[in-house]
């Protein structure tokens, strides 16, 4: 082999290795981005679930309060009616 051929082979090997490295790096970057995206999606889902749970709890609390107010009003009305009947 001549020196020029050897240099060419070495350069090609180096280029191939660099290409492999770049491809691996790109793959890693892609994987990281996908993982980050999954994480973000999971976080968004969690936030949504939490918000929905909070809304449901608030709604239930409001319904209970309304029910309680209704009961109190009815009791008061009954009491007033009973007093009036006397």
Domain limits of the chain?
Answer: 1-86
- Tell me the pLDDT band of 1, cut-offs 50, 70 and 90: confident
Mean pLDDT on 59-74: 96
- Tell me the pLDDT band of 86, cut-offs 50, 70 and 90: confident
Q: Is the pLDDT of residue 71 over 90?
A: yes
Secondary structure in 3-state letters for the chain: CCHHHHHHHHHHHHHHHHHHHHHHHHHHHHHHHHHHHHHHHHHHHHHHHHHHHHHHHHHHHHHHHHHHHHHHHHHHHHHHHHHHHC
Q: Could you read off the pLDDT of 7-54 as tens digits, one per residue?
A: 999 999 999 999 999 999 999 999 999 999 999 999 999 999 999 999
């Amino acid at each position: 082999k001549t020196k020029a051929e050897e240099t060419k082979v070495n350069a090609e090997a180096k280029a191939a290795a660099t290409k492999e490295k770049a491809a691996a790096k790109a793959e890693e970057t892609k994987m990281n981005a996908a993982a980050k995206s999954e994480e973000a999606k999971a976080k968004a889902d969690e936030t949504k679930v939490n918000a929905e749970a909070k809304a449901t709890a608030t709604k239930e609390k409001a319904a209970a309060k309304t029910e309680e107010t209704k009961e109190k009003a009815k009791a008061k009305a009954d009491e007033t009616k009973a007093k009036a009947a006397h």
